[in-house]
Structure 1
């Protein structure tokens, strides 16, 4: 793939990731009653719920498959050994899935870490745009042909997908206009939407591992994995409170003539808040990104002590060549700019896009080490690295 095109796609994905907003309307559904049903407790995730019925049926409801979704989706998961004894009103569900799933197609790199953490990565048989995957283990399976390339997510190769005969396709979409998914569903391939990317908090994104777990009957394992991540994150957050300074932080960079940076209620801004920094746009109410002029950013952040996530830039020289206005910022002059764009997989995919949602504790520890090095002096930077 042409490198400039690949970087453009990554930049577009980054901007899209920032534009996640809440505001959802729910549709009414007449679901069959499940006596003595118990709802799985979710502490942070807002985009889905899980309910386990006494009959063994697990119901997953997705309320945020994409930003501003006007409908929710409900899926019934039935143990294979009970398929012959349970009759459901198919009209009440958007998909019915036999579990445990043995063959799965995923469509977003954020799905890969969850599958690997649960130990079911060997059940992944297809993926669109495999070049974006950074995980070394999954890349080996791609190279051996165990995972098939399925084209583009927006126009997934339905013929190849049908040949794979997956038990499940986990879909990623920015709206409800994916005709390929409709084709698969008409062919009796269950498609379920995953909206992990619409969550607005670090732990909310990470908790989506509990979405994957019921498809493999691994709820207890997912609970344990998430609890470990949650504990690590909260301990780091408490440590950050001990810092004696609250350094000012700038983020983002110009894309054409617009400076995109995280809104004050966004995922990225929450990291900076929990790292005990003064993110200069923290009081804004946007859950996605802000679109600003270079003049307004320079006026507000010229003296910011640190600059985090300057789009796709990896060196001071390329920033200078792109726009000499960058040289006016104190963080540029003092070489205090840090990027996740240098941490890539073998094919150039950015590991941050793939793994950071699953491991927010590593992101937070990186930021604490950068902003308050005295608190985590031995920490080795994982995602964020200083610019060349």
Structure 2
């Protein structure tokens, strides 16, 4: 397909289920590649079946990309259909080039968490981007790890970054671009897996709910004031929050996390088709380990979800972002409520720990907790074992 590419037509190129290309009718050989991930790249076919990436749409301008395409086509014509290497790294497989031209496309199609892993690679290893894959050394990566630790990164965070790079090198070996990984023998930093997880005490949980209610009241008051201002100026008013069961998404989201132990990503991916209000359970389908799990609905959560959306559309997100798209973050709103609750050292993920801790402290077997949390290995669940005081006391009583 060939159309005249312009800044306007670039915005109309929709993401499809697979990668496709749109050629420019103005400049022969110049085209846009639209990946299934939504990424768009300027490309040029400077000779038969010989293509080159020019840059990313949104970073490089259309005019600059078209001029670069014309320049490469002219160079190729003058050199028998090839582009001579005029710079040391030109044409060589640097880390950046490998990611942009090979690994990102593969990750998008084969890895569920591709966006997060690719972001990690591009931000954590920016100092290595212009180095050839085969010339990156063990010490260079080790120096980066040391710097991360000095800047305050936790060992678990450092390990995740290193693991992302190990996966990249493994793929490059499989594609015969390199023969050895410089960090194949790099061990993980020691992480205390048994460190007591942070969870809400009964008092903290009570304060959290109180601040969520206070926030609801404040949002309703602010909306009423805004609508009064609009009415005076004949401006269309906004929805009346006094008629809504919740002022916005935050309170029902927190209740969902506290009563299911879902991960943040699982919550953001949750759609109404996965919620079975009549049968009393929901399905976490887009999970970290790739295995779906069913979570019974606590009565409070069941009532919350019924009130949150009356007559839900199956394909819609339960907690949508703007324009119905997938929500990506609630950190600012949540952290403000935590601060107002005078709760310290507590993250959104710790609501998951609170769910698990409350179950264990009420005598629920660890394997049942493991199933509800979706842990592959019970070793992760054993972090909560110390909370089961009654079970430990009963064991000592058998002596």
Q: TM-score, normalised by structure 1?
A: 0.26
Work out which structure has the larger RCO, using CA pairs closer than 8 Å and 6 or more positions apart in sequence. 1
Q: Find the structure with the greater CA-based Rg.
A: 2
Q: TM-score, normalised by structure 2?
A: 0.26
Name the one with the larger strand percent: 1
